[in-house]
Amino acid sequence: MSLFEKADKIITNFELATKNPIIPTNKEKLFVGVDLGTAYIVVTVLDEDKNPIAGAYRFAQVVKDGIVVDYIGALNIVKELKKEVEEKIGCELNCAAVAIPPGTTINDTRYIKNVAEGAGFEVTNIVDEPTAANSVLKIKNGVVVDIGGGTTGLAVLKNGQVVYIADEPTGGTQCTLVIAGAYGISFEEAENLKKDPGKQLEISAVLKPVAEKIATIINRHIKDYDIDAIYLVGGTSCMLNIEKVIEKVVGIKTFKPQNPLFVTPVGIAMNCINN
């Protein structure tokens, strides 16, 4: 079995469920996650066995560095995604977990919880993003690095327990700004170019300095720990060859699943408390 075989299967099933949702047999025992990311807002639904059955997501820029900067915009999107998923599976979604960047407190990011509650969810758990991601990856030792739209968060794990967490600015937004500057185009055009499959090799060369900066962030936070592997998740980890750049700079084996974008959203749902 490959390193991420189980995780990749879970994420593939979630991607399929966003297009072809599965009607739950037990509508009273669902696990829901709301991920208010810098680039994407994702609502994830798992069944009673924590298998993906439905989900919806939307590109949005209503959060910056873990802080909601457009509360009404975020609230409306979460409401719309909640309604969309409820109509697909034929039942109301009540409880949900949310996530915050590592190293912050709910007092710092209380609006994330407020958005979910304002959309009609009872927030039953709040988890940091790398820990949520590891609910899918099941890493025992190493460091899980969540490279999102605005920040790079990490959690050092020893025997399956988080022993250190940190979060710093630098992520997908910085990548988009670099692309915009390099090509002389708007932010929106750069965002679209970043997602173009045919441009990935070219773009990865342009973004190498950003990948190297992310590597220095990781290196600075793990210098006091004996780390044998780095595991990447988050939308910015989709960047072609980013794991190779980080491995070269840090000097530690670096891995990522097939689709790092949805690892954390699914992990958030896994942390939903639904008694």
Looking at residue 193, what is its pLDDT?
92
Phi-psi region of 103 (alpha: psi -120 to 50; beta: other; left: phi over 0): left
Q: How far apart are CA 89 and CA 83, in angstroms?
A: 10
Dihedral (CA of 129, 130, 136, 140) sign: negative
Confidence (pTM): 0.91
Grouping H, G, I as helix, E, B as strand and the rest as coil, residue 163 is: strand
Q: How far apart are CA 94 and CA 112, in angstroms?
A: 16
Looking at residue 1, what is its pLDDT?
47
Those residues whose C-beta lies under 8 Å from the C-beta of residue 138, and which sit 6 or more positions away, are: 6, 7
- Going from the first residue of the chain to its last (275 residues), give the mean pLDDT of each consecutive group of 10, the final group possibly shorter: 83 96 93 90 96 94 75 93 96 94 71 93 92 92 90 91 89 92 94 90 94 95 94 92 96 94 95 87
Looking at residue 65, what is its pLDDT?
65
Contact at 8 Å (CB) between 116 and 268? no
Looking at residue 243, what is its pLDDT?
96
